[in-house]
């Protein structure tokens, strides 16, 4: 023991006077080994702790705290008690000691044997003596006992805080206080005041902020506090109304979002008093809004408010606030709807819509009030915008609300359908779709009338947008009322397809057929319809093969595409499966194999097969595969052999297990098949081939991209997750290595491959990998291949938005090379490079100011570009650069 205390004195001496930090660890080890006790340590420190030099005292406390951090588990309750008393006392000491005291206290609070009641006393002394915020959140929950005193202490210590780190912490603590059920007592208002004085938060982090606290974090943290309890309502709501008067857009948006958030917590009794004020502010925001963000935030807030009042349970003696509120809304909005001056119609309609989507009762009220006048409007004056609102509105309402208006709505829709205006037709189609979703609204006769109208539009309407809307509407209706479509539309369309009147109107005839085919595909979602529609399509194929019909090649291909669409969208039931298996596939295969002499459309037909759901076993698979393999290797028609290869890939991908062009490699890669490595290695070796290098590099693009036609999830291909990332991690090193060792004239192949691979990686992966690949990518910008330039620029641009420091050191090269590309012969390269230059203007000002004059001069050239799209990018970029470093700019 004597040896122990001699050792201890030595250690203490070396730490405190000798300034050797490592001795703290040695002391802790000694303590753990039982060579001395904690109390002996305190005794040995005694002299230093009583020193007249604050630094010496600090050093002493530091040693004790360091030791405690490591040994707090070994302490007894009595020891903790004594130490706490010591530390609480030390808080009153010189400020250089405080940090060490706090560290020690923190260590002590982790003790499992913390004496009851000590947390309270710790906090009391903390609030009393410490003038900086500390993390109190990890202290045990005895705090509740402290109640209002604790809240008051908290309020006092937060007051006037400016450091964003402490604020964030303070907001989190405040939220815990609110949610943890602490007794706020008479300090409710104080707690609100001390936090709400930061609302709305206006904080822009310094450029090199190491803490990474964003304005968004602060806003959310503060919002959680303010909206945390209904007890704040009486203070918060006036504040929101006040802040909505602000000119600052972000303040408005923040206020509106806060309002939305609190509406989900509050009840009508909190809101009641402020409803007129809130409504006035909301109305003003929507009526006079300058920005869509404010407007949509305002509408969301209105919805939330309405939902909140609708949700509340009323007392027998209280007013129905919903009614009162809706009266306000209707009074202010309704008359605008009938005004010939269109200025406020739209905002009013939006407000009403927001209100009525909030709850059933609200929608009932609103619909009952405005429907009659809207219908009257329509009848007296056929105006597109009026009916548009009608359309939008009715889609939101509930069925029973509309029941009363069913008759007049239907007649409006049908009369609008026969109008000449495209906008009106589209809107009425949308209304029709909405009506059809509510089964009771459309009677059998209405549906039939609707189908007639739709058929007529398909046959006669030339406008592409209207046709699209018709097809969508028909698709939606056919899901619900297949019978009407089978009996009315399908036969009409079939007749039209085969009527084949050639003559002078051949072009329009083709267009009509196209639309018929598309419509057939669109309505085929129910098995019963599929059964009727697919034979029509197959019949077209057959007749084109036998040469009896007068179908052009495009029409045949479009038939195939539509068959594919049906296969993709039809409800995947056993019944549909059987239709495909029994009828379609055998017929298609028959057609395909019969005419394997490589006409264009054969591969297309076979293509469609690969779409079929996996469980439908394709008959004669082996024979087909052989056929395809031969086709892809021997045929010299490029379209045929690529489709054949794709097809082959599609089938291989679906094979249960076991089966050398890139599509095949891709099929395997998607499944993460072991064979794929061999194939990609082959591609790598081709990169340095002087003739095939460029094609091989493009092969990588094929490997990484989403395939449009065959190898995607829509075709039921087996796509493993993250195959791109895996491919990248496995191969990027090979690529860099290959680049470094390749002869100069062969480097471009590697650059191309790299830019293709990086371009298809998810953003997050790009951001982390880019610093390492940056030199190569900069190199790629000067590569003459336009495709390489384009894909490099497009993967650089998102990175420039949030520049890593590696980029800043390369600024000279980056600016020079992107500026050169603004005069590239390829429009897309010019656009992409201008976007990058725009992004560069967000870099820290002192880094890019030296380039300002040069960039402005260079950007004057694309202002006069041949292409408008290039000019507009140049305008945006150049104006940003003008604002840089200019007063009032940034």
Partner 1 sequence: MSGGARLENANPLIFQRTGERLRTANDEDEDVADPIDDREIFDLIRSINDPEHPLSLEELNVVEQVRVRVDDQENTVGVGFTPTIPHCSMATLIGLSIKVKLLRSLPERFKIDVHITPGTHASEDAVNKQLADKERVAAALENSQLLEVVNQCLISNARTG
Q: Is 384 in the site for partner 1 (CB under 8 A)?
A: no
Contact 514, 496 (CB under 8 A): no
Asked whether position 882 contacts partner 1 by CB under 8 A, the answer is yes
Residue 745 binds to partner 1 (criterion: CB under 8 A) = no
Residues 6+ apart with CB under 8 A from 577: 613, 615, 616
Q: Does 785 bind partner 1 (CB under 8 A)?
A: no
Is it true that the peptide bond before 618 is cis, omega within 30 degrees of 0? Answer: no
Burial readout 563-595 (b: 16 or more C-beta within 10 A, e: otherwise): bbbbbeebeeeeebbebbbeebbebbbebbeee
Of the candidate spans 27-35, 285-293, 669-677, 781-789, the one that interacts with partner 1 by CB under 8 A turns out to be 285-293
Please say which residue, 846 or 868, places its beta carbon nearer to partner 1. Answer: 868
Q: Which is nearer to partner 1, 292 or 691 (CB)?
A: 292
* Token duo for residue 812: 């000279």
Least distance from C-beta 304 to partner 1, angstroms? Answer: 24
Cβ of residue 860: shortest distance to partner 1, in angstroms? 7
Tell me the closest approach of the beta carbon of residue 863 to partner 1, in angstroms: 5
Omega before residue 704 within 30° of 0, cis: no
Decide: is 871 part of the binding site for partner 1 (CB under 8 A).
yes
Assess 866 for contact with partner 1 (CB under 8 A): yes
* Residue 869 binds partner 1 (CB under 8 A): yes
Minimum separation from the CB atom of position 419 to partner 1 (A): 22
Contact residues for 741 (Cβ-Cβ < 8 A; gap 6+): none
Please report how close the Cβ of residue 335 comes to partner 1 at its closest, in angstroms: 18
3-state secondary structure of 65: helix
Candidates 288, 634, 660, 737: give the one binding partner 1 (CB under 8 A): 288
Which range of residues in 17-25, 579-587, 631-639, 873-881 is near partner 1 by CB under 8 A?
A: 873-881
Min. distance of Cβ 828 from partner 1 in angstroms? Answer: 9
Per CB under 8 A, 890 contacts partner 1 = yes
Residue 714 burial class via C-beta count within 10 angstroms: exposed 0-12, middle 13-18, buried 19 and up: middle
How many chain residues interact with partner 1 (CB under 8 A)? 32
Give Cα 860 to chain centroid, integer Å: 36
Residue 161 is given by DSSP the state -
Q: Which residues of 401-434 are buried (b: 16+ CB within 10 A; e: fewer)?
A: bbeebbebbbebbbebbeeeebebbbbbbbbbbb
- The contacts of residue 478 (CB under 8 Å, 6+ apart) are 485, 522, 523, 524, 525, 526, 529
**Interface region with partner 1, contact rule CB under 8 A, candidates 17-25, 167-175, 177-185, 859-867:** 859-867
Q: Which is nearer to partner 1, 132 or 827 (CB)?
A: 827
Stretch that binds partner 1, among 609-617, 666-674, 710-718, 866-874 (CB under 8 A): 866-874
| Backbone phi and psi for residue 5, each to the nearest 5 degrees, phi listed first | -70, -30
Residue from 120, 290, 437, 605 in contact with partner 1 (CB under 8 A): 290
Q: Which is nearer to partner 1, 6 or 827 (CB)?
A: 827
Provide the minimum distance between the beta carbon of 347 and partner 1 in the complex, in angstroms, as a whole number: 9
**CB closer to partner 1, 461 vs 873:** 873
Candidate residues 86, 346, 414, 498; the one interacting with partner 1 per rule CB under 8 A: 346
Q: How far is the CB of 888 from partner 1 (least distance, A)?
A: 3
End-to-end alpha carbon distance in the chain: 70
DSSP line for 106-122: HHHHT-TTPPTTHHHHH
Are 215 and 204 a contacting pair, CB within 8 Å? yes
Out of 808, 827, 849, 853, which residue is the one contacting partner 1 (CB under 8 A)?
Answer: 827
In this structure, the dihedral spanned by the alpha carbons of residues 235, 240, 242 and 246, taken in order and rounded to 10 degrees, is 150
Does residue 340 belong to the site contacting partner 1 (CB under 8 A)? no
Q: How far is the CB of 869 from partner 1 (least distance, A)?
A: 6
Residue 260 in tokens: 């939305």
**C-beta of 65 vs 467, nearer to partner 1:** 467
**C-alpha dihedral sign at 475, 476, 479, 485:** negative
Q: Is residue 823 part of the contact set for partner 1 (CB under 8 A)?
A: no
Q: List contacts with partner 1 (CB under 8 A).
A: 247, 249, 287-288, 290-291, 342-343, 346, 826-827, 860, 863-864, 866-869, 871-872, 875-876, 878-880, 882-883, 886-890
């Amino acid at each position: 023991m004597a040896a122990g205390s001699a050792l201890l004195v030595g250690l203490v001496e070396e730490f405190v006077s000798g300034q050797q930090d490592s001795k703290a660890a040695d002391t802790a080890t000694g303590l753990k080994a039982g060579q001395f006790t904690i109390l002996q340590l305190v005794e040995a420190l005694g002299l230093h702790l009583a020193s007249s030099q604050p630094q010496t005292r600090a050093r002493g406390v530091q040693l004790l705290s360091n030791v405690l951090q490591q040994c707090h588990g070994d302490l007894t309750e009595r020891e903790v008690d004594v130490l706490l008393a010591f530390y609480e006392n030390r808080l009153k000491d010189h400020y250089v000691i405080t940090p060490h005291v706090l560290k020690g206290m923190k260590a002590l609070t982790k003790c499992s044997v913390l004496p009851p009641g000590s947390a309270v006393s710790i906090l009391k002394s903390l609030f009393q003596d410490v003038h900086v915020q500390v993390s109190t959140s990890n202290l045990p929950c005895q705090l509740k006992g402290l109640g209002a005193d604790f809240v008051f202490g908290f309020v006092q210590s937060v007051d006037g805080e400016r450091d964003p780190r402490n604020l964030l912490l303070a907001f989190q603590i405040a939220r815990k206080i609110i949610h943890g059920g602490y007794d706020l007592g008479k300090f409710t208002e104080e707690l609100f005041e001390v936090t709400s004085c930061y609302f709305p938060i206006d904080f822009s982090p310094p450029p090199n902020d190491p803490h990474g606290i964003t304005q968004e974090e602060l806003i959310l943290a503060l919002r959680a506090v303010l909206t945390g309890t209904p007890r704040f309502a009486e203070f918060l709501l006036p504040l929101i109304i006040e802040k909505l008067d602000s000119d600052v857009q972000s303040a408005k948006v923040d206020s509106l979002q806060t309002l939305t958030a609190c509406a989900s917590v509050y009840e009508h009794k909190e809101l009641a008093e402020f409803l007129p004020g809130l409504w006035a502010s909301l109305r003003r925001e929507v009526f006079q809004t300058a920005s869509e963000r404010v407007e949509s935030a305002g509408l969301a807030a209105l919805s939330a408010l309405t939902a909140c009042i609708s949700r509340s349970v009323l007392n027998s003696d209280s007013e129905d606030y919903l009614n009162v509120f809706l009266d306000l809304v209707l009074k202010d909005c309704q008359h605008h709807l009938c005004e010939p001056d269109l200025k406020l119609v739209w905002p009013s309609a939006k407000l009403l819509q927001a209100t009525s989507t909030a709850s059933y009762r609200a929608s009932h009220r609103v619909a009952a009030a405005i429907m009659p006048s809207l219908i009257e409007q329509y009848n007296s004056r056929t105006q597109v915008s009026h009916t548009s609102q009608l359309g939008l509105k009715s889609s939101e309402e509930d069925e029973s609300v509309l029941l009363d208006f069913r008759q007049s709505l239907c007649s409006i829709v049908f009369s609008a359908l026969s109008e000449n205006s495209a906008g009106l037709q589209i809107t009425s189609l949308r209304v029709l779709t909405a009506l059809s979703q509510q089964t009771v609204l459309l009677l059998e006769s209405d549906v039939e009338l609707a189908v007639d109208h739709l058929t007529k539009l398909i046959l006669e309407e030339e406008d592409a947008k209207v046709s699209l809307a018709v097809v969508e509407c028909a698709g939606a209706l056919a899901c619900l009322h297949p019978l009407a479509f089978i009996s009315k539309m399908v036969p009409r369309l079939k007749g039209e397809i085969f009527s084949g009147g050639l003559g002078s109107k051949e072009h329009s005839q083709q267009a009509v057929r196209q639309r018929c085919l598309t419509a057939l595909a669109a309505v085929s979602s129910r098995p019963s319809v599929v059964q009727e529609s697919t034979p029509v399509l197959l019949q077209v194929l057959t007749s084109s093969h036998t040469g009896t019909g007068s179908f052009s090649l495009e029409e045949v291909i479009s038939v195939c595409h539509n068959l594919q669409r049906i296969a993709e969208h039809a409800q995947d039931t056993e019944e549909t499966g059987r239709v495909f298996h029994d009828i379609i596939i055998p017929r298609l295969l028959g057609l395909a194999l019969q005419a394997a002499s490589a006409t264009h459309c054969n591969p297309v037909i076979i293509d469609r097969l690969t779409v079929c759901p996996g469980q439908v076993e394709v008959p004669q698979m082996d024979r087909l595969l052989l056929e395809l393999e031969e086709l892809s290797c021997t045929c010299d028609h490029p379209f045929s052999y690529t489709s054949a290869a794709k097809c082959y890939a599609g089938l291989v991908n679906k094979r249960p297990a076991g089966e050398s062009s890139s599509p095949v490699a891709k099929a395997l890669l998607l499944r993460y098949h072991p064979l794929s490595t061999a194939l990609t290695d082959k591609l790598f070796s081709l990169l340095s081939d002087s003739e095939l290098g460029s094609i091989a590099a493009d092969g990588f693009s094929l490997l990484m991209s989403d395939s449009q036609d065959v190898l995607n999830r829509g075709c039921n291909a087996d796509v493993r997750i993250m195959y791109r990332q895996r491919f990248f991690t496995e191969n990027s090193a090979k690529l860099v290595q290959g680049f470094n060792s390749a002869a100069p004239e062969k480097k471009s192949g590697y650059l191309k491959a790299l830019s293709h691979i990086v371009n298809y990686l998810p953003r997050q992966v790009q951001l982390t990998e880019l610093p390492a690949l940056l030199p190569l990518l900069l190199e790629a910008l000067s590569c003459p291949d336009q495709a390489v330039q384009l894909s490099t620029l497009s993967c650089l641009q998102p990175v420039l938005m949030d520049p890593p420091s590696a980029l800043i050191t390369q600024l000279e090269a980056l600016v020079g090379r992107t500026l050169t590309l603004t005069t590239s012969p390829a429009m897309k390269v010019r656009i992409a490079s201008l976007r990058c230059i725009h992004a560069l203007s967000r870099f820290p000002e002192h880094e890019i100011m030296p380039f300002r004059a040069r960039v402005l001069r260079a950007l004057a050239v694309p202002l006069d570009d041949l292409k408008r799209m290039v000019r507009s990018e140049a305008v945006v970029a150049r104006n940003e650069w003008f604002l840089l470093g200019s007063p009032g700019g940034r």
